[in-house]
Amino acid sequence: MKILLVDDSRTIRNIQKNVLGQLGHKEIAEAADGVEALKAIAESKPDLVLIDWNMPNMDGITLVRKIRETDKALPLIMCTTEAEKSRVIEAIKAGVNNYVVKPFTAETLAEKINTTLAKLTAAAAAH
């Protein structure tokens, strides 16, 4: 499974990579903003994308909307400091499948990733 991490903080991407590595995921690509992410998605066709909200050049919510213009199925998890209910609702309306608030524990991130993938697998099997 290919996973794309989109966050302007390399420290956060490294932490996410460590968690994903512990979960057995090895094919991990990185992007530092929405513009880089769109390019990476077009080139590498990831199976899951983790997206920060506040980033330079193109923020995460804009990235989610752009992805959903052409791809309704790609699993997207927002991983951000934006914790207000209004922001969560905005992200869900834009098309994210799950939401992780920073600061997060490794267990929380792993649980959200596993839950998201399990739901999508179950939905695919039902069709």
Q: Does 9 bind other proteins (CB under 8 A)?
A: yes
Say if residues 38 and 69 touch (Cβ distance below 8 Å).
no
Q: Does 73 bind other proteins (CB under 8 A)?
A: no
Three-state SS at 107: helix
Minimum distance between the CB of residue 100 and other proteins, rounded to whole angstroms?
A: 12
Measured from the CB atom, is 85 or 127 closer to other proteins? 85
Q: Does 11 bind other proteins (CB under 8 A)?
A: yes
Q: Does 22 bind other proteins (CB under 8 A)?
A: no
Measured from the CB atom, is 36 or 82 closer to other proteins? 82
Whole-number Å distance between alpha carbons of 2 and 43: 12
Q: Does 104 bind other proteins (CB under 8 A)?
A: yes
Say if residues 5 and 17 touch (Cβ distance below 8 Å).
yes
In order of 6, 36, 83, 95, 108, the CA distances from 31 in angstroms are 5, 5, 22, 20, 22
User: Which residues of the shown chain bind other proteins in the complex (CB under 8 A)?
Assistant: 8-12, 14-15, 18, 54-56, 80-84, 86, 101-105
